[in-house]
Structures are given as C-alpha cells and as structure tokens.
Amino acid sequence: MIEIVEKREIREVSNEARVEFAAVSDNEAFARMAVAAFIMPLNPTLEELSDVKTAVSEAVTNAVIHGYENRCDRNDKVSMTCRLRGDELEVEISDRGVGIGDVEAAMTPMYTTRPELERSGMGFAFMEAFMDELEVRSEPGRGTSVRMCRKIGMTPWIAGEE
C-alpha cells in the first residue's frame, strides 16, 4: 500500500454527507452538483466552487474510467464523503476497482495508461493545483481512495491570471 501525504490538520467535523452512486459517466455531473450543494452554506466564491467541482470531476472520472475500467456497470459503486471542518472542506472519493500499482508515477503530469481513450494524464495535476491538499491511497486489486481538502470562503482574491 502506497500513501502520499502532503499535510494534515485535525479539527472537529461540523457537517458530513456521504453519497454512493453507480460508476457510470452520467454521475460525474451528479457528484459535482452534490459537492457544490454541500459547500453552498459557506458562501464559496465562483473560483472556489469551480476549483472544487473540477477536482471532484477528475476523481470521479478516474474511478469510472480507470478504477472500473470504463465498463459502465451499474453494480460498480463510487462513494463520495464530504466533511466540513470549520471553513475547510474535505472530500473523499473511493472506488473498489483495480487500484494503482505505482501512485507516484500515476500522479506525474501527463502520465496516462489510457491514451486510446483520449485521456491526457492531467487529472491528478488538476486535483493538486485546485485543492489545498491531496492524498491518494491505493491498493492493486482493492481500489483507490482520493482525499482532498480545500479552505472555502477565505481565498484572497488574486489579481490577473496565469
């Protein structure tokens, strides 16, 4: 089992929600909307909303395409757990799919095992860029779990772009 931990902070959980859904591509939009609804009470900025939705979309898409090998079987399930710790969102997306042999390699930008499905290998890079914390745990044959954190409603406005 490989574990990559960037940083961690312990605070009390003030709210929690968990959804489980079929590993089909239609549910990528569902997961994005669910996480957006969950953080709405924190008055997220458009930027924060968009960052969190992108990261969740990447993790769920990975579960569908890679974890469950793109077979779109309704019996394969992806779970998403959202937790609020003060002004911080923690979201964990898990599958019981094939798992990842080398997590570090998988997280390298532009690394993909499915170029024939037009994947570009940017998913983990976006999760890392758009969230404050990213932790990936995986075990071949057992599944993958991606935990991400992001402070909401606190981002100082950054002028300009790029």
Partner 1 sequence: MEDYKVINDYLMIRLPEEIDHHESLTISARADRYIMSGRVENIVFDFERTTFMDSSGVGIILGRYRKIACFGGKVYAVNADSRIRRILLMSGLEGIVEIMEPKKKCGEVKQ
Question: Given the rule CB under 8 A, which residues bind partner 1?
Answer: 25-26, 28-29, 32, 43, 45-47, 50, 53-54, 57-58, 61, 64-65, 110, 117-120, 122-123, 125-126, 129, 161-162
The CA distance from 110 to 98, in Å, is: 20
Please list, in sequence order, all residues whose beta carbon lies within 8 angstroms of the beta carbon of residue 22, skipping any fewer than 6 positions away.
Answer: 73, 74, 75, 76, 77, 78
Q: In the 8-state DSSP scheme, what is residue 115?
A: G
Q: Answer yes or no: 70 catalytic.
A: no
- Nearest approach, Cβ of residue 92 and Mg ion (Å): 17
What is the CA angle 68-32-144, rounded to 5?
A: 30
Whether 58 is catalytic is yes
159 binds, among ligand ATP, partner 1, Mg ion, none (CB under 5 to 8 A by kind): none
Choose the contact partner of 129 out of Mg ion, ligand ATP, partner 1, none; CB within 5 to 8 A by kind.
partner 1
Pairing of strands 2-4, 143-151: unpaired
119 given a catalytic annotation:
yes
Q: Which of 28, 58, 92, 133 is catalytic?
A: 58
DSSP H/E element including 88 = strand 88-95
The yes or no reply on residue 114 touching ligand ATP (CB under 6 A) is yes
- Give contact residues for Mg ion (rule: CB under 5 A): 62, 123
Active site residue ranges: 58, 62, 119
